[in-house]
Amino acid sequence: MELAQVEHDLLEARTVYRTVKRIFLLNGDAFSLGFSRLEAIGKKIIEIFPEVETIASYASIESIARKTDEELQELRRLRFNGMNVGLESGHAETLTLLGKNYTLEKAERELLREDFLAARPKRGMEGRYIF
């Protein structure tokens, strides 16, 4: 999706929702987009919804691993702080049998790296979700 379409959708949502605290980017692992694209989307969201506290999306271990520490810190600053990570299993042998491209150790390392996805209670369905 082009940034112009994202902006169009955000502006349309702005006419409907007065206050948006949480935005969830849909359609698969949105976090697999490159850093510059996520950065542009985050800045556009904050421009249109300055009150937003959380930008969330699905993420995978690999999409986190592809980001540098600096990129993760910048995305966190841009309020990307509600990633839903699909960790198919916490059992090392199962990950191998499923043919995952990561080990349990790598998953743990990426989930804790730079405190980006530090363990914290999920907020559940509070706030408004668009997209």
54-59 and 80-85: which strand pairing?
A: parallel
Q: What integer pLDDT is reported at residue 115 of this predicted model?
A: 53
Q: How confident is the model at residue 127 (pLDDT cuts 50, 70, 90)?
A: very low
Residue 1 corresponds to which amino acid?
M
> Any idea how long the chain is?
131
CA 72, CA 103: separation in Å to the nearest integer?
Answer: 21
Cα dihedral angle (130, 128, 89, 30), rounded to 10 degrees? Answer: 30
CA 39, CA 24: separation in Å to the nearest integer?
Answer: 15
Q: What is the mean pLDDT of residues 69-85?
A: 90
- Which tens digits make up the pLDDT trace of 79-96? 998 888 877 777 778 878
The answer to whether the predicted template modeling score (pTM) of the entire model surpasses 0.85 is no
Q: Which two tokens stand for residue 125?
A: 């369905």
Q: What integer pLDDT is reported at residue 111 of this predicted model?
A: 74
User: Domain coordinates of the chain in residue numbers?
Assistant: 3-115
